[in-house]
């Protein structure tokens, strides 16, 4: 729950700080959403360097043997996540935030960030070993997938909320 727990912390601290400086919460969270993929990218690269959050066994040419995970090569799932949730998400979110700025009201970018992050995380979780102490839920879903489904729903709810309340902005 590292990312999702951190996300909750960022949302709470953003809410508190936006009240203190008297700025619209969604305007502030939209700015954070544009920069967040950079931190996600470096976090996933650090996971790779530390040999954490390794992937499932794979015999693809780019599979990696992690020293503490036996002799079989594995998907470098940390790199997949760095590319999807870091690089790709950064360009995608910033495209919408900068190029479509006239169409978007505060909150759209934050909602899109949550939606796209969740989708990309669910995809990348298919290549990653689940947490050893948790395993799969319902014999198919990792905890990361389940939490990402919840995050996806919240992202969609934010977009619907902003759309419904557009006339007030």
Q: What is the tens place of the pLDDT at every residue in 22-39?
A: 999 999 999 999 999 999
pLDDT at 102: 55
pLDDT at 68: 83
Q: With respect to residue 122, please indicate whether it lies within any of the assigned structural domains.
A: yes
Between residues 130 and 62, the one the model is more confident about: 62
Q: With respect to residue 43, please indicate whether it lies within any of the assigned structural domains.
A: yes
Q: With respect to residue 157, please indicate whether it lies within any of the assigned structural domains.
A: yes
The count of structural domains within the chain is 1
Contact 128, 55 (CB under 8 A): yes
Q: With respect to residue 130, please indicate whether it lies within any of the assigned structural domains.
A: yes
pLDDT at 132: 67
Q: With respect to residue 97, please indicate whether it lies within any of the assigned structural domains.
A: yes
Q: With respect to residue 62, please indicate whether it lies within any of the assigned structural domains.
A: no
Q: With respect to residue 83, please indicate whether it lies within any of the assigned structural domains.
A: yes
Using 50, 70 and 90 to split pLDDT, how confident is the model at 141?
Answer: confident
Between residues 129 and 28, the one the model is more confident about: 28
Alpha helices in the chain (DSSP H): 2-20, 25-50, 77-81, 89-99, 108-125, 143-164
Q: With respect to residue 53, please indicate whether it lies within any of the assigned structural domains.
A: no
The domain in which residue 83 lies consists of 2-48+77-164
């Amino acid at each position: 729950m590292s990312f999702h727990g951190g996300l909750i912390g960022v949302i709470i601290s953003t809410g508190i700080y936006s009240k203190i400086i008297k700025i619209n919460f969604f305007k502030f969270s939209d700015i954070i959403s544009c920069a967040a993929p950079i931190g996600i990218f470096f976090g996933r690269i650090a996971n790779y360097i530390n040999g954490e959050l390794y992937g499932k066994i794979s015999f693809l040419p780019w599979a990696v043997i992690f020293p503490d995970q036996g002799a079989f090569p594995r998907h470098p799932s940390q790199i997949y996540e760095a590319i999807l949730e870091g690089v790709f998400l950064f360009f995608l979110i910033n495209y919408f935030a900068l190029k479509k700025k006239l169409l978007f009201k505060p909150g759209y970018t934050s909602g899109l960030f949550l939606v796209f992050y969740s989708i990309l995380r669910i995809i990348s979780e298919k290549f990653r070993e689940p947490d050893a102490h948790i395993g799969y839920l319902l014999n198919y879903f990792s905890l990361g997938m389940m939490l990402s489904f919840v995050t996806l729903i919240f992202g969609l709810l934010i977009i619907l909320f902003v759309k419904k309340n557009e006339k007030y902005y």
